Structure formats: structure tokens, C-alpha cells
Structure 1
Amino acid sequence: MSKNIFLFLICLLTADPSFSQTSLSQKLDFSEAAIFLHKDAGERNRILARVLSEEIHKRTGKTFNIRHQFPKDNEPAIVLGTFDQINVFPERLRQALSTLETMPREGFVVWTDPKGPAVYIIGQDDRGLVYGAGRWLRKMEWGAGQLLVPADLSIQSAPAYPIRGHQLGYRPKTNSYDAFSVGMFEQYIRELALFGANSIEIVPPRTDDDFTSRHMQLPAIEMIAEQSRIADQFDMDVWIWYPNMGSDYSHPDAVKAELEERHEVFAALPRLDHLFVPGGDPGELEPDELFDWLDKSAEVLHQYHPNAKIWISPQVFRPTQAWFDRFFYHINQQYDWLGGVVFGPWVKIPLPELREKVDAAIPIRRYPDITHSLSSQYPIPEWDLALAMTLGRECINPRAKDQKAIHNALAPYASGSLSYSEGTNDDVNKFIWTDQDWDPNTPVIETLRDYARFFFGPEWVEGVAQGLLTQEENVRGPLLTNAQVPVTLLQWQEMERKASPGLMKNFRFQMGLIRAYFDAYVQKKLIYETQQEQEARSILAVAEDKGSLEAIETAKQILNKNWDDPLAAQLKNRCHELAENLYQSIGAQLTVEPHGAAPGRGNFVDNMEAVLNDAPWLLDNLEAIAKINAEADRLKQLDALLNRNNPGPGGFYDNLGHPKSWKRVVSDKSWKEDPGSLYSPRISFGVGLIGVEWVHEVRAIGFEGTSSPQSWMMQVNTLYDAPLKIRYKDLDPKLTYTLKVAYTGRFRSRMKLKVDGDITIHDFIQTGHQPIYSFRVPKEAYQDGEITFTWTCGEGERGSQVAELWLIPEVEK
């Protein structure tokens, strides 16, 4: 709708004498309203009227009847219709609507008339009517026996992007979906549709996962059929993510078995619009073989769903240029069955470049990872190690502002998105992302207020909306000094005290609570364990006074001392209670035992007792040093232990996973420009090897430790062959420096290091065998007092990564 037409609708209202008596700040009372639907309305519209009635009843306790005779002038009414029913609307509204040039597909108009009062929700099509009804529901203010609507609520809107949806994979790997009943999926899909989603993505019964789950109420083949049926009620597109799990796609028997499986799956689905086949992760195939297989798959697909299209992602872990050359050759042939290209996790080519390589007529769909925090497509900026270790990969992760920034950075290059989700942990992110796909100018706070109003009630709007924003602030920067964390807990505890029993059973409210308690507990634990380590180090620093063995024993006792804090115990117990509540309400699996989570996935409550200091590494070292016979040698090793990070006078040391060291890291793009870090470095987490770095003398005694310093758990890294650059200034050209570097991390990459002047420090090293390397730095590389270290990977590698770096000046003798 044009701006002028929308203003005309407003003018029609303000010209009415009855409207002049109603202040724009007033609310209209719809508590006695009925829902009106044209008698010839189709089945989907009838379903929507029922859904609208049910959603209002849940919130008000009142029954809103559905009628098919047009309401009288003074009768409170909620009128549903589509533009092809324009003849049944009031004359004034007909006049306005008839002047519209073209209402975009999926668009809607909401027109509030103080007479009655009445609201007219008119969709351009069936989908538009769903979205108009959803927008109206999001703005209404409700309570027991009462339904109020702002008197000035008149809206016209249409989506900016044609693809808007989320993956709802019914499989054991997810942190909650596998526990969903048909009714739970129906409610969840309904809510996504009412917030503007027009698609869901399901997964087949066989993926890179266990085939069974103790939580599943139906076999997977039956549940995905139900998901497809539910989505069709709202005219939502149904996608299926279908990786290539066969053992050999060149063998006729293997191909036959795979095709038979697809016959079974495609036949079971009442609706299927799109098949998404990832190029890898899992199921990597060479492009020629991949596209030959897709051609065979298309024949089977079209037997059951003749209009369905196939989408492919160039998603491979170790891509080569030859692989991409063949992939784009095939894509740009524009086969009849091709729907488009998908950009998601582990696609090496940045989206702007992908858009250039793919023919302009071929659409691109985004597949954003909104669910993971560790090993994520879009990692949390400035994330503290303590929270990374405890919240883990699939924590409850409201990241409202981040999601908007991530969406908008790349939105113009694609036709919308259908997110990668592993469960309900990313619930807030889903609604943010859908709102941004509808209109990328939507403020985050508006979505959060709609979310709070719709799911909790009007009295909770500001508390919940701001409470979710503060939880995002909890994960930014050093946790030790984050004053927001205890304030966030107090805010959520106050809401908890005021919450009704019904609200306390609301899984979304439970998720907000558990994160507030969890963050506060981890912060208190970090403060204690930081102090504990510093106390032990203080004892070791004066070991010479009372003897090394006594100092070692005292330090060990300090490091092994149990934490006894009654308030912290209460926080911990509340987290476990809320984890159980979430299991009961939504099937969320936040622990392996008793809730049956997949280890390393959503079980972040299991991580509450993770050690947040260097105690394990120190204890290993102290055990080894205590075995040294001579006191002088023990003291020497204790000094080396305490001065591990000390590069000596005039030297440099950086823990490159720590934000404070990022002043050294060279990046040509900001996080908001490149949130997926395909051009620029990122902080990553992961040790990648087990062992302890020892000075030469301790290695000589043959001790093999089992722990590692925390500094090895964080790295700066780049993905694939993007160079990793670290720059130092203010070096003394007269001095000779030794580079000492720690190569740890998630990847086992072959890395090469050069410095200024194209000087090679070392050729390709296969990392993962040892953590620490030392190299002499050529003086000609820093004659101007500056030096830039540049790491690159070999073709097909997953990325460069550096945990620590020392520049140690040579001491003149």
C-alpha cells in the first residue's frame, strides 16, 4: 500500500464524528466482540478464525464466537477477509481499498473503526490474512475477561523478503524438538506464522544422528508428516533438509537404496515445496557426482510433489578451487529442478561474492546459524572464556541486537532466510530474525515488546523486553567485572516474585529466569576461583621463605579447597529446578542426566561445575616440580611456572583470544560488516590437543601432564585461506627477538608464517602435534620498528589459529 493510501485510511477515521471523541492514547474495548468471516471463506481462513478465537481465549478466558453474517454498526467485531471479498466491507473502506494499485503478495491492512468498535483485518491473500491477524494479536492488551486495543491501531504492511522461516528438526540431536508432541509442534508453528514466518524446514528420519530418541512420541516418518500437514494449514512452504548419507553414490545398489528411502519420505509428506541438499556437513560429494545424484532425486521428488524445487549449498569442510569451479558450472546451467542456492555455515565464499558467481536469475536463501554459540557461524563478540566454557554450544541464547546486525549486514544479497535451529534455545532469535526478514527497519525493542506482550501479557512488556536485552549484555566483555550480571538477576527475580502460577509454567519465562540465575552463579564462581588462584600464586611467589615443598603443599590445599557459599548454592539449585521445569513444560534437555540431552549440545546446566581458573594446570605442574630432588632446581621451576607469560623486559606477550590483545590483530572489516568472519579474524574456543607446555628442565624429568593452561582454550583464528595478521609496533631494531607461539585450537590445520618483506619464518606446519614453537625473527623484518606476522593455510584447510604469542628480546651477556 502506498503511503498516500494509508494516510487516506487514517483520514477516513479522523473525519468520523465518533472518532473525534476518542483520544489516540485511548484503548478500545473488544472484550465482547465476535469474529466475523465471510460465509464463502476457504478452509485456511476458517482455520485462521478458529486459531484467532483460541489465542484470544487463552489470554482472556472469554469465548469469541465465529459468525458469518456481517456485524451491525454498533456491534464489537473482529472482521477477517481478503481483498477478493472487498464487496462485503463498509463503503468507506471499500473506497479506500479500491484505489490501491497493487497490494504486494502476503501483505495486509489492519483498519480500526471506533464504531462498534470494529477492526478489519484484510489480507492480500490467505497468507496476508494470517500475518495481519498475527500483527493485531501482537498489539492487543489482554487480561482475564478483557481485551483492549489501541484506538489508533491502523497498519499496512508487506514483507521485504519472500522467504521467512525456521528449521524444526525432529531428531535426537536437538535440545527439545525430539520431545515435542503433535500439539506442541502445532502451537509452535502457529506462533511462528502469526509473527510472519511463511516456511518451516523439516529433516528426514535418517541424518547424521541417532535414529531413535527416548523422548520421541511418534516415529520420525509420522511426525514429519504431521509437521507438513500443520504448516499447510497456514499455507506455509514446507522445506526438507536432506543430506546425502549414502555410502557410495557411484554404485547402482547404493543409489537404488537411497532412492527407495526418498520414495518413502516424499510419499509420506502431504506438502513439500523445496528440497535442500547441503553440499557437505554431512554427505560431501564431488560436484559432478552431486548434481548427477540430484537429477535422480528430482525424478523421485516430482512423482509426489510435481512443483517442488531443489536447493543446494556449496557447504564443504575442505573446499578446493576445483570443487567450486565445477559447482558453479552446474549451478549456472539452471536445471529445471533447481530452486536456488543456500548460503549457510561452512560456506567458504562470502555471500556478496556468492551472489556475483551465481546467475542473477537464481535466488539465494540464507541458512543462518541462530542456535549455536560455540563453533558457530556467528560467534558472540567479546565473549568471556568462563561463559563460553559453561554456557557451551547450545545454551539459551537471546541475542536480539546481534541478530538484527547479522541479518542486516547481508540481507540485500539474498531472498530471505530459513534459519538453522537445534531447538527452543534460540526462541527469541527466531522472532527477531523473522521480524527482520519482514522489515529490516523494525527496531529490536519493538519485536521484544511484541514478544513479551503476546506471550506474557501487557504488564510484562518492559520488564521482559529489557530483561532479554540485559541478558545479551551479560555475555559481552569480561565477566569478572560485568556489573550488569547481578542487576539482571535482581530484575528477573522481581518478575519471578510477581509471576502467577500460570506464568511460572510458561517455558519462555522459565528460559529467561534460568539464564539470569545461571549467569549470576558463574560470575560468583569465577570471582571465587580467580581469588583462589591468586592466593595460591602468592604463596608460591614467596616459596623461598619457607621452602618450596611447604609452599607447594599449601598452594595445593588452596587450589583443592571446596567452595562453600550458601548464596551461590541457592543460585545453583534454582538452575537445576528451572531445568526440570523446562523439561516438564517443553521437553528441553539441559542435562544429560536426568533429562537425556545429547552431550555437548544443549546440556549447559551440566557445565556449572567447570573449573574457571588454571588450578588443574597448576596442580599438574606442582606435582611434577615436587618430584625434583634439589631445592634450588624446584625454586627455579616454580619461578618459571609463575613467570610463564613474562616475555622479559622490553618483550611482548599476548593471549590472542582475549579482547585486550585484539589491538594487535589486523582486520579490514568490522564485526557488523563481516559477522560471519569470512574476511576477518574471530575469537574461537577449543584446545584441540591435550598436554602441558613445560620449560626444558621440567620436560627432562619425563612428566606428562593431562591439562593445559586456559590461555590455550582461546584463539584468534581466520577461516579457510583468509590470512591471519598480527602486528606489533615500537620494536627496537637493534635488538634480536625470538618468536614463541602457541598453536592450539579446534582445527588441525597446515599453517605457514611469513613476516614483512615476504620473509618466511616457517613453511607449512601440521598443527595439533605440539603446542609451542620458537623461531628467531629476522632483524630486516622490523627495521622501522614494526612487524606484521601473517599466517596462511594450505588449500582445503579450515583456518589459521594462534592462541599465544611472545616476542622475547635477546639478553646481552
Structure 2
Amino acid sequence: MHSQTRFKAFITILLFLAIYFQSVAQSIDLKNATWIISPGITSPMKETAPAVLTEEIAKRTGITLKSAAAWPKGNAPVIAFALASDKTLLSRNVPASDENSAEFKPEGYRIVTETAGANKTVWIIGADARGVLFGTGYLLRHLKMSKAFMGKPLLELAGPTKVASSPAYPIRGHQLGYRSTANTYDAWTVAQFDQYIRELAVFGSNAVEGIPFHEDDKPSPHFKIPAREMRIKMSEICRKYDMDYWVWTPATFELTDKTKRQAELALHEQFYKECPRLDHIFFPGGDPGDNHPSEVLPFLKELQTILVKYHPKAKMWISLQGFDTEQIDYFYKYLETEKPAWLQGVVSGPGSPPMAETRYRLPKQYQHRQYPDITHSVRCEFPVEKFDQAFALTLGRESVNPRPFAFAKIQEKYAPFTDGFVSYSDGSHDDVNKVLWSMRSWDPQADVHGIMEEYSAFFFNHTVASAAASGIEGLEQNWKGPLTENGGVEMTYLNWKGLESSEPSLKDNWRWQMLVFRAYYDQYTRLRLIHEQKMERDANKVLAAANQGNLRQAMDSSLEIVNRPTPNLLAKDLRKWLEKQSDALYTSIGLQTSTEKHKPRNPERGVVMDFVDYPLNNRWWLADEFEKIKKMTDPDQQLARLKTIASWENPGPGSYYDDISSVAKGPRVKTISEDATDVAWWDNGMSRKRLSTQLFQREPELDYENLDPRARYIIRVAGEGDALLRVDGRRLSPIVYNKESETFKEWIVPLSLTQDGKISVTFDGPEESQLNWRKQSKISDVWLLKQP
């Protein structure tokens, strides 16, 4: 039996070696390759595609591939650029294919290897100039490259390769606004924009959107050149990579003002004249701006007349963002009656009508482009679902935010109603999301983990591709559900810490830096949260035991407890590391994470180091409440208030408490917070309000079970404004009804409703459409209190 086991092990090893050497034998070693390009590929792609290939290979291997004017003699490998329409390249046949193949469709390509005959050849065959570039991108994403693999440079393509592909959606782009509100772009040089746009093309993007005009009066202290110069440079870069150049151009003035209107038209004309390439003008209807479409549409028509003087094929687009029902109906009536040929299509972004509705109402001759917000995490179009408050208050709206699986689902849901997308982005922190959207819009069936592996292989190296891909996915999982319960946060941290140690050559790679930074930040926040929440529970025990004879002592003692820093040595090391790494990210990519050090536009723009130590318990609120209590003259009132504070989240046996929008403290809440009603932004993010008050919903729903059918219950609600409560569908009248923040409303629950041991609690939404969302009614805390 023992000999049989050894024999089986021997056979297994032989099979493994056979597969390995077969794979090696089929791979093509390109270290000594030359490249040849078809004369049918015209400038600038004739220069661009080989430059992208050779320069990116040189960075990763130290090998500089040379061009050749003829097929080399012998067995030397060749990378050949050709068009699908080419029959031959320098007298050698281009591999034939069915005319229905992907490389004959716009932007399509085919990659095929030939290992028999005179030369080992890797063919990049494009349907057009863009197809050649995207084929080059595919090759770069699948090459194994290293400067020192087993002591030698590595440049190898696994073979045989035969793949053909063309994009599912014709519009695939990203907004790169060189403006003061960006958290990185405003610090970039022309060379950095060139490199980034190149990398977007490698992953299938074909468009870039800029931000002209309205930023000229608000220059960033980080600008390397004036905004006016940069937008022209971006146009030149787009021409170089054959990328569509879009510009986002709102009108933030009244279009009825003839003087301002003429000045705006003059600005546009000057810009159009200066741009070497300009393909699309996108005018957001009402975000920003407040003009009726009866003014907007004639203005755009006039703009189009000017635009085509300088760019005959350029197109005009509009979004219906911020339009009310009457304005939307006016727009569609205009299309029906005027049938404007000058309009190319409609853009759907935050605040637009539903995308399905837009596509169904929009006549077929007009295109429909999505404008997805891939850059924000809260107070946005696609907020993180079940986001722990600790992250919402520290990482906030604009942090490093890889969300590959979430955005794959969102893209899959909305893309079928569109012709593609150009994303809303305000910095490099959403880089993973850009690649995900580009690749899934090229191929909606592309495997998400596979995309992450290609991302990691190209930007890091092929040896860590799988581990880094899993690490990126781990960062997304960190944001799901209650943070204190998510032990995966520590595993993700340990994964990235191990990768960081094993790959020191990547320490200055800004993408690597961002991902490692998030892993450390998440771990630090979790350690703080666990400690600070425990300290608050301990402090509340002191308050619960207080009496009139030791009120001040109880308050002082509880405040000392709740302010104790974490004794965890790892947390202290993490805090020092985050400080150092945040500065490294500012150096490498211009990421502005600290107001004091990096001078961002405002704290909401990804300034996570301002909030890295924001209280994750109620110590600020407690300090303020204690000051109020000390000013009270009635000891009974003082003690009653202390007891209310002590029992806020622990109302006693048989009673229940829910923090309405907290995934950790709202177990009976069925509804999920959405968009701007999720996390408030008070005092530049430094609010001293109770943490539960900073989370709220308008119309929450809660279910209670296992109630005592003999007991009387009272429902208590904290929030602001109105709360129109129903129990089991029955509207109840309150016995207490205070509308101020952190005051209470109360209702007695009829015994008839609790006889079955369960109730459902809902709230009607008060009519407040005339109010800004920040002033509308809010519900933050709900108690079901069992009476003695």
C-alpha cells in the first residue's frame, strides 16, 4: 500500500511537470522581439500604438523593443500591428478571419499567435486605429513581465493565443476634471494626465471628459499650469490616443441675461477654436444651473452652430438633471415638434429621471449616455449599502473606494438602457471603479475577479495578480455590514501587510499605496470602534448607578472613561503609518488627505486624515450634555437626564432600541438609508451631535416580535420635525410631540394591536417638497418601551 501511494505521488508530479513544460513550450518569449507596423495604420496611431507597447514593456522589464522595416531572418519573434482590411504585411499573409469576426466591427481587434514557420509572431489586428490600440491594451494586460524573474528579465505571452473582441457599448469614458474640487487631478502635470489617459485606453476606455470655463475663477493652489492651458493639453492627449474629448459645460447664470449669454458664447467659441480635438459638448440641465429648457435648448442650438465651424463632426448633449415634470415634458415635446438634428442625445446622471423612462421616451434617433457617480460613497447616486457609521464618519464621501462587485451589478442594471457611459469622477481614488466600468462596458459578461486580476497584473505584476485581486475584493467586503462584527477586516489588513512586505518594489506605486492605505485605515478604525464603544458602555454603567449625592462625580468619572485612548499598540503603530502614507500619496499622486498639509478645496473632498480620529462614541456629545446638566437647578431633573442618557441604547428588559440608520444598532429596521438622507454633513464633518442623530431616515419601517400580549407599550421617537406614526397600519395620536433635535415624541400602543405578540411600525412622509432636504423631517432613534 505504501509503494502504491508513492507511485501515485510520482505520477502526479510527472503530470504536473508535463503540463508545466507544455505551457512553457507554447509560450512565446518576446525578450528579443521586434515590431512591425502596417502602412495602412495612419498617424497618430502609427506612432501611438508602438509607443504604448514598447514604453510600458520597458518600464516593467527594462527591455526596449526595436522596430523593423522587414521580417527578421531566422526564428526571431515579431509583434505585428495590422488592420483587419490588410491582406498582407510586408509580403507575409495576415491571418485570415471571417468578415463577421469582432476585428471587423468598430474598435474591435484580434490577437493571434503563430509559432510555426519562419518567425514566432504575435499579431495585433485592429478593425481601425482604435482597434489597434485596444488590441495593444489586451496584449499588455496578458503579458508576463518582470525586470528580474529568476534572475533574468521576463517578457512572455502564454500561447497559443487566439482571441477576437469588440465593445458592447460605443461610449466608455471618464470625467477628469482639472479643477479645485478634485482631490488629485488639480495637482497633476500634463505628463501625468497623458499617462493616466493611456492607462484608461489600455483597459478599453475611448473617451475623456474635461471641465472648462467655470473653474478659471477658482484656481487650485496645486495647479501646475493654468486650467485654460490644461484643457487644451487634454485635447491634444485625446487626439494622440484617438480618444473622444468631451467637455462638461453648465450655465450657472440666467440665460435671459443677454450680456452674460454673449460672453458665454464667446468663451465657448474661443475654446472650440483652440482645441485640436473636440467631439462632444455635455450641458447639464440643472446640476448646476436653474434655466428652463425653453432657454436652454435655443442656447445649445446656437452653441452647436459655433461648434461645427471648428469641429464639423462634434455633437451636442443635454441632461435633464434637476428638471421638474413640466420641464421634462417640455423637452420631449420640443423633440417631437422640432426634431432637432443638432442634438446628439441625452445624458442621465444624479437627479435625472429614471434611465429606463428616459430611453423609452427618447426618440430612437437620439443616443442615451449614462453619467454614473463612481467617485462617492455617501450623499450620492449609488451610496454604499449597509455602510457602518464609523466608516461614513471617517472615510466619508470621497475616499479610496474600490467597489468592483457592487458597480458590476449597477452597470449591468442600467447599461442596457444606454449607449454607454462617461463617469463622474473627482480623483484617482476611484481608479479600480473606472477600470471595472470600462471593462464591463466592453464585455458585460467579463468576470469581475478576472478584471481585478488583469488590473493587478498590469499595474503591479503577474506574480501578485491573484492575491492583489482578492485584496481589492476584501476592501469592498470591509464596507459591508456592522464593522465590529466583520473579522474579515483584519484578514484583509494582514493580506495587504503581507503583500506590502513581499513586494517592496511597489512601495512608490500610487495604486498600491492607495489600496494598502485603505486596508490599514479600515483596521485602525475597527480597533478604535471596538474600544470606544466599550468605553461608552462602561461609562453608561457609571451614569446608571448615579444618585443625587454623586452627580458631578459620576459625570466626571464617565467622561474620563469615555475619553480613554485605545491601549492597543497595533492601533498606535497603524496611526503613525497612516500619517506617513498619506504624505507619500500626496507626493506620488497629489491625493489631498489633510487640510493642514495638503490644502484641499474642502474637508468633504477625501480629506480622510482630518477624520481619522473622529470620535466613534458619544464623548463629545456627553461633554456638552454634562455642561447643560450642570447648569440645571433642580437635582431631580439632573438625575433624570443622566438616567435618560445612561439608558439611551439599553432601555431595559422587554424594551427595544433601534438606531434607525445604523447597520450595527438597528436590528428591527427593514428599510435602508439612501443618498443624502443617510449621513448628515454638519460643521464640516466635525459635528458634536449624538452619533445616532447624524443618521436618519424619512419613513423607516420596523418589525417587532415576541411582545408580551398583557403588557402596555409606548413608542418613543427622536429626530427632528414631524413623525406621522402608524402601528399595523393604524395612525396613532401622540401624547408627547417635540419637534426639536434630540427631543422626544411618544405614542401609547393600543393593547388590541399587541395581542398577537408582534407589531409593524411605519411612518407617513409629511408633505415637505418645498423644503431643502436638510430641513425636512428626520427620524433617528426609535424605542418600544415596555411599561411596568
Distance 2:294 2:518 in 1: 47
Change (3 A) 1:754 1:564: closer
Distance 2:109 2:752 in 1: 64
Correspondence 1:604-619 to 2 at 5 A: 604-619=608-623
Is residue 2:717 matched to residue 1:741? Answer: yes
SS in 2 for 1:35: strand
Aligned to 1:4: none
Aligned to 1:114: 115
Aligned to 2:409: 405
Distance 2:271 2:234 in 1: 13
The Cα of 1:635 is off from its aligned counterpart by 2.9
Cα shift readout 1:449-490 (whole Å, capped 9, x = no counterpart): 111111111112122111111111111111123212222222
Is residue 2:347 matched to residue 1:342? Answer: yes
Cα shift readout 1:296-329 (whole Å, capped 9, x = no counterpart): 222222222222211111111xx53223222332
Cα shift readout 1:696-746 (whole Å, capped 9, x = no counterpart): xxxxxxxxxx832111112235xxxxx7655556778998765433335xx
Aligned to 1:289: 295
The Cα of 1:101 is off from its aligned counterpart by 9.4
Correspondence 1:324-473 to 2 at 5 A: 324-332=328-336, 333-347=338-352, 349-473=353-477
Cα shift readout 1:660-700 (whole Å, capped 9, x = no counterpart): 67665556xxx9xxxxx9xx89971116699xxxxxxxxxx
SS in 2 for 1:284: coil
Distance 2:314 2:725 in 1: 49
Is residue 2:684 matched to residue 1:711? Answer: no
Change (3 A) 1:707 1:417: same
Distance 1:223 1:404 in 2: 32
Distance 1:598 1:329 in 2: 41
Aligned to 1:86: 87
Distance 2:101 2:741 in 1: 70
SS in 2 for 1:659: coil
SS in 2 for 1:593: helix
Distance 1:611 1:352 in 2: 42
Distance 1:245 1:577 in 2: 40
**8 Å CA contact 1:711, 1:803 repeated in 2:** no
Between 1:523-532 and 1:461-470, the stretch displaced more is 523-532
Structure 1 gaps, min length 5? 1-18, 672-676, 691-705, 718-722
Aligned to 2:557: 554
Distance 1:724 1:561 in 2: 35
Distance 1:429 1:111 in 2: 29
**8 Å CA contact 1:35, 1:77 repeated in 2:** yes
The Cα of 1:541 is off from its aligned counterpart by 2.1
Change (3 A) 1:730 1:796: farther
Distance 1:798 1:353 in 2: 25
Change (3 A) 1:156 1:563: same
Distance 1:781 1:119 in 2: 79
Is residue 2:272 matched to residue 1:269? Answer: no
Aligned to 2:180: 172
Distance 1:373 1:164 in 2: 22
Change (3 A) 1:493 1:770: closer
**8 Å CA contact 1:754, 1:761 repeated in 2:** no
Letter of the 1:791 partner, please give it. D
The Cα of 1:652 is off from its aligned counterpart by 4.4
Distance 2:175 2:681 in 1: 30
Is residue 2:42 matched to residue 1:42? Answer: yes
Cα shift readout 1:584-625 (whole Å, capped 9, x = no counterpart): 111221111211222210211221121110111122222333
Aligned to 2:307: 301
Distance 2:239 2:732 in 1: 60
Change (3 A) 1:775 1:629: closer
Change (3 A) 1:94 1:535: closer
Aligned to 1:136: 139
1:255 to 261, 284, 288: 261
Letter of the 2:163 partner, please give it. I
Aligned to 2:541: 538
Give aligned-pair identity as a percent. Answer: 33
Aligned to 1:697: none
1:519 to 522, 529, 536: 522
**8 Å CA contact 1:657, 1:683 repeated in 2:** no
Distance 1:278 1:497 in 2: 47
Change (3 A) 1:652 1:146: closer
SS in 2 for 1:229: helix
Letter of the 2:205 partner, please give it. A
1:506 to 505, 509, 517: 509
Distance 2:330 2:723 in 1: 27
Is residue 2:32 matched to residue 1:32? Answer: yes
**8 Å CA contact 2:344, 2:366 repeated in 1:** yes
**8 Å CA contact 2:715, 2:749 repeated in 1:** no
The Cα of 1:520 is off from its aligned counterpart by 1.4
Letter of the 1:178 partner, please give it. D
The Cα of 1:803 is off from its aligned counterpart by 3.6
Between 1:424-433 and 1:43-52, the stretch displaced more is 43-52
**8 Å CA contact 1:687, 1:712 repeated in 2:** no
Correspondence 1:94-109 to 2 at 5 A: 94-97=95-98, 103-109=104-110
Is residue 2:161 matched to residue 1:153? Answer: yes
Is residue 2:610 matched to residue 1:634? Answer: no
**8 Å CA contact 2:374, 2:425 repeated in 1:** yes
**8 Å CA contact 1:647, 1:806 repeated in 2:** no
Distance 1:462 1:263 in 2: 50
Letter of the 2:443 partner, please give it. D
SS in 2 for 1:442: coil
Distance 2:771 2:90 in 1: 63
Between 1:40-49 and 1:406-415, the stretch displaced more is 40-49
The Cα of 1:367 is off from its aligned counterpart by 0.7
SS in 2 for 1:111: strand
Distance 1:651 1:203 in 2: 54
Structure 2 gaps, min length 5? 1-18, 148-152
Letter of the 1:407 partner, please give it. Q
The Cα of 1:146 is off from its aligned counterpart by 2.2
SS in 2 for 1:574: helix
Aligned to 2:780: 804
Aligned to 1:695: none
Between 1:646-655 and 1:369-378, the stretch displaced more is 646-655
SS in 2 for 1:707: coil
Change (3 A) 1:393 1:807: closer
Letter of the 1:314 partner, please give it. L
Distance 1:184 1:76 in 2: 32
Change (3 A) 1:710 1:509: same
Aligned to 1:702: none
**8 Å CA contact 1:656, 1:714 repeated in 2:** yes
**8 Å CA contact 2:133, 2:201 repeated in 1:** yes
Aligned to 2:9: none
TM-score (norm. length: structure 1) = 0.85
